[in-house]
Chains A and B, each alone.
Chain A
């Protein structure tokens, strides 16, 4: 244990025992702002948790009242379920408006099959309903977003990091230093939204990350992305916004665009909604540098072998389905579908035998549970079973 840690621990003890002076308390609060301070606080809390003495018996707590306050959080879900049960089978259009209902077709069957009842399945995986993104600061300190309240989470010098709601953070302030932070949105987490200190907004899908400076300095605004992200970049001619996606650079000229670049997929897709971007692959010893400029509605695809092509027939709604709470399958095969499901539900997919080559088309609400989503595939001929965090598909 370092001296600082030792000292912090001593002050924590004195503070807890009511024997600390005002000066010592002030000092303790300063020490707690250091990374070692956090760790000491955590271990001290665990220590206290193991002790048997509690609190002055003169203090009376109305536990029933506290429970009532806590119970309120459980109630919206109950109301939703009550309403659900009362809705009988209805037309497809009405069902699409409800939460978690689905419309799906495949090549063989011509009818649209709609699910109108909640199946009772034992081993099921719920859709994520929180954002458990992790923010790593310049000094390595990690903040798990969903376990903190709103307000200032931390600072990076003069830059403040503020949480304004579930899955929403913003960087405010300017600094001369370039300190890199990383926002990682893991599997099984909802979409997280971050506003960078220049006002640009980024939405991260599941299993995605964004590496960015707390404050943009210099004459370029450069960030790095993995997975899938949607950007709304503020216009600044003097400081072009550049996104680096494993070697592909997207240079932004004030605009809205979506980047799709998962490690387990060979293609990187950049889709432009508004404004203009230039997608380029810098030259390396193996490939010549190559670039394309996109117009709104176009998509640049960089294939595994480094070739860059433009897709003019992209449906923006389909590309942005993830941000709007939907899965979108457009001529997708089982493996495409299961890859998305595995990220969202954070499950491992195992195929017994060769997966079928059958193609599917449809939209599924993301807040359904895994079993509900699979039920639809099942009605379309897919066999599966869920075991804990694994889903096994068979012919």
Chain B
């Protein structure tokens, strides 16, 4: 089974099940590249692969009630991907397009230059980023993603207000994302998360 990228994938799944969009964003960031890479190997089309990858996450969210009983998040996500790819490959109407895409892909991209992402590498970088966090952010992040505590539980534990917990968590996630060298994170989006997330807790 593909290993979950982080030990806290199961915790993230529990949070997603109860509607936590930030946790959902984390799962998205952790799995998006691998899903896309597999999709493109089997569809030979960037457009199709992007669509399928997006659909996997949408399916995950829409059925989030099921996530509570998932024992193996990695296997679960890959099963959704398999279902989508299977649908795509089985459709009679996609056959000629597939062959065309495959020929084009072969000619366009030589196998030499492939971006490699080591799963362990990602974990290492996440840990690195966490280590660098200021003490309060680090504490909040650990209690949330490692111990799976809810925001009000963390507030009680650290003797700070729940709003402060939310702020620290958002900042920590942003810092980690930046460290993983992701696309620039828009501050306004973060503000949106904060505004909405208090309604979800």
Contact = CB atoms under 8 A, between A and B. Distances in A.
B103 A22 contact: yes
Interface stretch (A106-114, A125-133, A240-248): A125-133
Contact of A53 (B46, B116, B182): B116
B32 A41 contact: no
A73 B60 CA distance: 10
B86 A18 contact: no
A52 B79 contact: no
A305 interface: no
A70 B57 contact: yes
Given A29-B95, A78-B196, A52 B183 contact: no
Contacts of B59: 146-147
Contacts of A148: 83-84, 87
Contacts of B74: 49
B81 interface: yes
A22 B107 CA distance: 13
Interface string B29-66: 10011101110111000100010011101110111011
A18 to B, nearest CB: 5
Interface residues of B, number: 74
Interface string B78-115: 11111111110111000100110011011001010111
A45 B81 contact: yes
B70 interface: no
B29 to A, nearest CB: 8
A56 B78 CA distance: 21
A141 to B, nearest CB: 11
B36 A61 contact: yes
Interface stretch (B16-24, B138-146, B163-171): B16-24
Contacts of A61: 36, 46, 50
Contacts of B106: 18
Contacts of B196: 78
A3 to B, nearest CB: 21
A64 B199 CA distance: 24
B19 to A, nearest CB: 6
A55 B114 contact: yes
B188 to A, nearest CB: 12
A46 B2 contact: yes
Contact of A64 (B2, B69, B84, B186): B186
A146 to B, nearest CB: 6
A25 B86 CA distance: 15
A151 B25 contact: no
Interface string A76-99: 011001100100000000000000
A286 interface: no
A74 B82 contact: no
Contacts of B42: 15-16, 45
Given A49-B38, A55-B37, A81 B200 contact: yes
Contacts of A38: 86
A64 B183 CA distance: 7
B156 interface: no
B119 interface: yes
Interface string A115-140: 00000001001111110100000000
B66 A130 contact: yes
Contacts of A81: 199-200
A60 to B, nearest CB: 9
Contacts of B86: 32, 38, 41-42
B183 A63 contact: yes
Contact of A70 (B28, B80, B114): B28
A32 B90 contact: yes
17 contacts: A33-B90, A41-B89, A45-B78, A46-B75, A46-B78, A54-B37, A54-B114, A55-B41, A59-B109, A61-B36, A66-B54, A67-B25, A74-B21, A78-B196, A130-B63, A148-B87, A152-B91
Interface of B: 1-3, 17-19, 21, 24-25, 28-29, 32-34, 36-38, 40-42, 46, 50, 53-55, 57-59, 61-63, 65-66, 68-69, 74-75, 78-87, 89-91, 95, 98-99, 102-103, 105-106, 109, 111, 113-119, 150, 182-184, 186, 196, 199-200
Given A58-B113, A63-B29, A147-B59, 15 more contacts: A18-B106, A26-B95, A41-B89, A42-B86, A50-B3, A54-B114, A62-B183, A63-B182, A67-B28, A70-B28, A71-B21, A74-B19, A78-B199, A130-B62, A389-B69
